[in-house]
């Protein structure tokens, strides 16, 4: 059965744009209109609605958590294990030796999607330090999508997701499926136990973080914000990062002209000023 086509006129799209900007800072440009419509058509059909105006009224009506569901549908969740490998090399060779005296490390993965990023961080920590059981390692993994967080928390992935990883790494840190589940792998407990998953909206004034962080991964997030929102989010992130702490960003992102609280260390790696 063909999916129903819903029209999205200019006025209604502008209302959605303003709502989404207020809720999560994403700046929906005109060329994202078709993508927005295609991602939400199925949801309108599920709810038995006849128009995007009806859906807008439902979202802003405040009678449900539909705004969270809407953000789930429109958020982009593209990730992989050890994406942008130089960040993990830097973490292993530069950051962890600096923390070796206290043997405590606090890291936040701000847009963890389906979990590959925080688990890659945990694997790096486990492999990089001598006697990892003597370290106090905690990784906060957050996302705006509850659907992605639920998937990440399972620690389960299709076998093809780890095809590019070294075999010895897979043996150390993944459980391989058996019987009817040979196409599925699961993160081992010593890695999974390092990560805590929470829904956090970077647009909130305060985040549920009590201890200052050593590293924040905020990769491929700023590209969805305008410069005003980028500056505001960076200011908030800085509040939760230790002086001298590190901020990792995506390959197409930069802090140049946006924030003076960080100084450049290497491509896409910044350090909070002391």
Reduced to 3 states (helix: H, G, I; strand: E, B; else coil), residue 63 is: coil
273 carries an active-site annotation:
no
Name the β-bridge partners of 124. Answer: none
Q: Is 82 left (phi over 0), alpha (psi -120 to 50) or beta?
A: left
Question: Which of these is catalytic: 17, 143, 214, 219?
Answer: 143
State the angle between helix axes of 66-74 and 52-60 in degrees (0 to 180), rounded to the nearest 10.
130
Residue 84 CB partners (closer than 8 Å, separation 6+)? 219, 248, 250, 251, 268
Report how far residue 65's alpha carbon sits from residue 146's, in angstroms, rounded to the nearest whole number: 11
Phi, psi of 217 (to 5 degrees): -95, 115
Which residue in the list 39, 43, 83, 199 is annotated as catalytic? 39
Q: Is 171 a catalytic residue?
A: no
Burial class of residue 143 in the structure, from the number of CB atoms within 10 Å of its CB (0-12 exposed, 13-18 middle, 19+ buried): buried
Active site residues: 39, 143
């Amino acid at each position: 059965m063909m999916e129903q086509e819903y029209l999205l006129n200019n006025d209604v799209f502008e209302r959605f744009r303003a709502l989404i900007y207020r809720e999560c800072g994403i700046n929906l440009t005109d060329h994202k209109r078709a993508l927005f419509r295609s991602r939400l058509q199925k949801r309108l059909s599920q709810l038995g609605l006849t128009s995007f105006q009806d859906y807008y009224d439902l979202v802003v009506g405040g009678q449900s958590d539909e705004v969270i569901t809407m953000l789930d549908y429109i958020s982009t969740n593209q990730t992989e294990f050890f994406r942008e490998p130089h960040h993990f090399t830097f973490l292993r060779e530069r950051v962890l030796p600096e923390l070796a005296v206290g043997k405590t490390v606090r890291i936040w993965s701000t847009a963890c999607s389906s979990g590959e990023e925080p688990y890659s961080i945990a694997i790096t920590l486990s492999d990089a330090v001598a006697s990892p059981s003597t370290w106090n390692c905690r990784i906060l993994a957050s996302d705006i999508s509850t659907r992605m967080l639920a998937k990440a928390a399972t620690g389960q992935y299709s076998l093809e997701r780890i095809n590019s990883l070294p075999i010895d790494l897979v043996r150390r840190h993944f459980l391989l499926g058996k019987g009817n589940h040979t196409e599925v792998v699961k993160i081992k407990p010593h890695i999974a136990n390092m990560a805590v998953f929470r829904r956090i909206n970077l647009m909130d004034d305060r985040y549920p973080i009590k201890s200052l962080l050593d590293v924040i991964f905020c990769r491929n997030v700023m590209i969805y914000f305008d410069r005003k929102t980028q500056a505001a989010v960076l200011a908030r992130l800085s509040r939760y990062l230790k002086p001298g702490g590190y901020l990792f960003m995506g390959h197409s992102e930069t802090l140049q002209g946006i924030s003076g609280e960080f100084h450049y260390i290497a491509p896409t790696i910044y350090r909070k000023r002391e």
